[in-house]
Structure 1
């Protein structure tokens, strides 16, 4: 079956649309995450979302909605503990990471009736994306684009030097909490693509690859969106023809793209010495 014939199927069209809007959201958020060195926090929020899934299963609520609420509270909790209560950031992350995983496992086990199928959330299945998922990703992408347009310079300043941003009387606390909110929402809405286990790669690898070619903040966002969507589509098609899990293969393709780009830069002798956190 060729690509044109695949487009006749609604699930494949949904997968492409979901990949496109998720790439926009992850490209924008991922650039902030990588630049501000929040990768470990993002991993903590991602795994804490399992607690929300468990709550949703146990109380017969929407798993995605409950995971989103739990992830947002976890994100704010990490921020509050590390900034206001003097707890080391890595310790705060460990607390919510472990709490979310523990609650998720216990409540999933205690859920009445048949045990919920967690594999779809742990490892992802892009072919299960629904119209409602696509709509949610579309709305998120539009909100993120608007937010970045309105607060672009403040976001860039906070990304590199929060203390300097404070001296310029920028709304640093508002930006940090708003971005933590967006990180949590983006993570939860993207779970169906690659799953909890691999999601952290979707918001870091395309940005790392983009940074090999440019150190400009806005260009990294644009290029990482392009790389992310290309990796999603390529991984989706190859996983279909090879009959392997799509989520894992999408991440595999993105990582291969990074290594190929790195090898090209090394061979051509044009590797950028500037790290992501030094983007002007």
Structure 2
């Protein structure tokens, strides 16, 4: 089994898995605490429009997806802050339109015949050195933002009204959280794809809530759990020759189920 580590694509996959897990653990905690899982799902699927546009323009896919996802996050933040009663309809529209834009641009790209399923369900084995650089920079950026604005983000996440009374710009930090979620979603595309990315963000955090009593420890435990799930999922994927994204998520679900069942029995 260890002999496969000599291959560069396996090494890249492991490094990518760890980098993505760190981001997913941190951002997943914010997504769960702020109860914006559905909003993050809308951003994830909307970013497919950026993938299609990048393919059409001949620019790096992750760059196109990043720009599109961040713009979508800002738009969603602006709209939902003004009209929270219609969040479900707004997200549904952004979700569908982003996917439609992506499909249309891919169809308009002459001679493009690459299987787009890898973007929907992930293909971590195909991670390039450029992707690793992007993921590394993303991790440093997320960690820097969290360390620098931790108190403000903590206040906004748990009691936005109290944070507003304390003079914290709630709108700014709410938008910032959505932008960080958008960046994390783009980074996770290579690992689990757009369809399964929400599971990677939420399952480790849901399990970490059992052991954590504050946001910082939840982020740390979530990152560790996501890393474990990803590594085990990659091993299962290699041994049984199945999709890496689906393997990672199923390993997460199985471990979560076992832990919760043990907790219920106790």
TM-score, normalisation: structure 2: 0.96
Displacement of 1:183 after TM fit? 0.9
Let me know the Cα RMSD of the aligned residues.
1.3
1:234 is matched with: 232
Please say which of residues 20-29 and 88-97 is displaced more in the overlay. Answer: 88-97
2:80 is matched with: 82
Contact 1:53/1:67 (CA < 8 Å) preserved in 2?
A: yes
Contact 1:108/1:116 (CA < 8 Å) preserved in 2?
A: no
Q: What is the distance in 1 between the residues matched to 2:240 and 2:65?
A: 32
2:93 is matched with: 95
2:241 is matched with: 243
Q: 1:249 to 1:86 in 2, by over 3 A?
A: closer
1:118 is matched with: 116
Encode CA deviations 1:214-238: one digit per residue, 9 max, x unaligned: 2321111111111100000001011
Alignment: residue pair count:
266
Counterpart pick for 1:181 among 179, 182, 206 = 179
Displacement of 1:8 after TM fit? 0.7
Encode CA deviations 1:38-72: one digit per residue, 9 max, x unaligned: 10001101110111111111222222111111111
Counterpart pick for 1:166 among 155, 164, 167 = 164
Contact 2:21/2:223 (CA < 8 Å) preserved in 1?
A: yes
2:44 is matched with: 46
Displacement of 1:154 after TM fit? 1.1
Contact 2:81/2:171 (CA < 8 Å) preserved in 1?
A: no
1:271 is matched with: none
Encode CA deviations 1:93-130: one digit per residue, 9 max, x unaligned: 11211110111111111211133320110111111111
SS at match of 1:155: helix
Counterpart pick for 2:139 among 134, 138, 141 = 141
Q: What is the distance in 1 between the residues matched to 2:8 and 2:212?
A: 37
SS at match of 1:190: helix
Q: 1:245 to 1:225 in 2, by over 3 A?
A: same
1:151 paired with 2:149, answer: yes
Unaligned runs of 5+ in 1: 269-280
Contact 1:46/1:196 (CA < 8 Å) preserved in 2?
A: yes
TM-score, normalisation: structure 1: 0.92
Displacement of 1:85 after TM fit? 5.6
Q: Runs in 1 of length 4+ with deviation above 4 angstroms? A: none
Contact 1:231/1:254 (CA < 8 Å) preserved in 2?
A: yes
Q: What is the distance in 2 between the residues matched to 1:144 and 1:63?
A: 21
Contact 2:153/2:173 (CA < 8 Å) preserved in 1?
A: yes
Unaligned runs of 5+ in 2: none
